[in-house]
């Protein structure tokens, strides 16, 4: 199955809810109605053999009305087909896909950590890269690059370290 065959079948299953297109040699499925987000992913996994959930990517667009965009990179090993499923929302709350692919757990935690996306229904949404006492989400465009005030917020191992720069 190639992408145009997949597009035709998806159009029948979700009429008018999706925008499928190919750009820069990549296949994209943009979800226009977020109500079908879960159902589309479940269908892609169970019906169209997209068993490998490669990555979860979040983008911050501070000047757009839909400020946050989550892109799920899915791969079908059987059909050697890769699709990027995109959903944009004005706020930072998105549905989780951890109940469909368990491997999405850490990837969604990473997006929560760095971009502040809250995945509703995620079993354990904690920071994964930054320390627990960090405040804010550094990959957002409005986060100051040289924000180092948090360095002295705690001396977590009681070593008496004071940062000055």
Partner 1 sequence: MGVITNKLPDNVITTTVDNVINWGRKSSIWPVTFGLACCAIEMMATGAAKHDLDRLGIIFRATPRQADLMIVAGTVTRKMAPIVRKVWDQMPEPKWCIAMGSCATSGGIYDTYSTVQGVDEILPVDFYVPGCPPRPEALLDAIVALQKKIMTEKVTRK
Q: Can you give the binding site for partner 1, defined by CB under 8 A?
A: 130-131, 138, 143-148, 150-151, 155-157, 159, 161, 163-165
Nearest to partner 1 of 23, 164 (CB atom): 164
CB of 130 to partner 1, least distance (A): 7
Whole-angstrom distance, CA of residue 127 vs CA of residue 73? 22
DSSP annotation of 108 reads H
Nearest to partner 1 of 84, 143 (CB atom): 143
Say what the alpha-carbon torsion angle 138, 142, 147, 115 is, to the nearest 10 degrees.
-10
Nearest to partner 1 of 103, 116 (CB atom): 116
CB of 146 to partner 1, least distance (A): 6
CB of 163 to partner 1, least distance (A): 5
CB of 60 to partner 1, least distance (A): 15
Report whether 101 contacts 50 (CB < 8 A): no
The Cβ-side half-sphere exposure at 54, using a 13 Å CA radius, reads: 13
Report whether 63 contacts 74 (CB < 8 A): no
| CA atoms 60, 71, 100, 126: torsion sign | negative
Nearest to partner 1 of 20, 130 (CB atom): 130
Whole-angstrom distance, CA of residue 70 vs CA of residue 84? 10
CB of 111 to partner 1, least distance (A): 17
Nearest to partner 1 of 118, 130 (CB atom): 130
């Amino acid at each position: 199955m190639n992408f145009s065959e997949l597009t035709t079948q998806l159009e029948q299953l979700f009429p008018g809810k999706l925008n499928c297109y190919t750009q820069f040699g990549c296949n994209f499925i943009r979800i226009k109605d977020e109500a079908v987000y879960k159902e589309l992913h479940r269908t892609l996994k169970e019906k169209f053999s997209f068993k490998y959930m490669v990555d979860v990517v979040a983008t911050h667009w501070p000047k757009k009305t839909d400020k946050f965009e989550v892109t799920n990179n899915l791969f079908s090993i059987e059909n050697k087909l890769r699709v990027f499923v995109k959903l944009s929302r004005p706020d930072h709350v998105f549905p989780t896909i951890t109940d469909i692919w368990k491997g999405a757990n850490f990837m969604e935690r990473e997006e929560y950590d760095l971009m502040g996306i809250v995945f509703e229904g995620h079993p354990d949404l904690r920071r994964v890269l930054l320390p627990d006492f960090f405040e804010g989400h550094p990959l957002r465009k409005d986060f100051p690059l040289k924000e180092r005030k948090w360095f002295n917020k705690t001396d977590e191992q009681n070593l008496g370290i004071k940062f000055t720069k």
